[in-house]
């Protein structure tokens, strides 16, 4: 199974729209949603779980997150907007068949 190193950019917009303590609507999940196909389910904790199909029957992938991203998520979940969270970027290896067509370009 081919994987593509993909840069995830969590922006100020993701942070503003993100929901605290939500594994599917946190800023990191919203940023990942921009690079994976619309039919992929996303769950974020200290790892990312991507799945496709009813009860993952077609395919799934679990990806460990960098330690600094896990700390960022914990800070987001407990911070009361003062000061606001800074944007963050990181790379993860995502199954190529889960990516949107525009995200399949190799990262240089």
Spell out the alpha helix ranges (H) of 34-96: 67-78
- Determine the pLDDT at residue 103: 62
Number of domains in the chain: 1
The answer as to whether 108 is a domain residue is no
| 18 vs 62: CA distance, rounded Å | 21
Residue 91's pLDDT is 97
Looking at residue 7, what is its pLDDT?
A: 97
Q: Residue 85 — very low, low, confident or very high, per pLDDT cuts 50/70/90?
A: very high
pLDDT tens track for 41-81? 999 999 899 988 765 557 889 999 999 999 999 999 998 76
pLDDT in tens, 20-41: 999 999 999 999 999 999 999 9
Q: Does 33 map to a domain?
A: yes
Domain range holding 70? 3-103
Residue 67 falls inside a structural domain: yes
Question: What does the DSSP assignment read for 89-103?
Answer: EEEEEEEGGGB-GGG
Check residue 108 and give its pLDDT. Answer: 37
């Amino acid at each position: 199974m081919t994987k593509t190193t993909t840069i995830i950019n969590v922006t100020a917009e993701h942070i503003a729209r993100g929901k605290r303590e939500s594994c599917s609507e946190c800023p990191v999940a919203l940023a990942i949603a921009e690079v994976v196909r619309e039919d992929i389910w996303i769950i974020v904790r200290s790892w990312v779980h991507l799945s496709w199909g009813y009860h993952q029957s077609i395919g799934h992938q679990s990806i460990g997150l960098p330690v600094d991203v896990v700390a960022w998520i914990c800070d987001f979940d407990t911070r009361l907007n003062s000061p606001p969270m800074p944007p963050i970027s990181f790379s993860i290896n995502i199954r190529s068949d889960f990516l949107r067509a525009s995200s399949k370009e190799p990262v240089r």
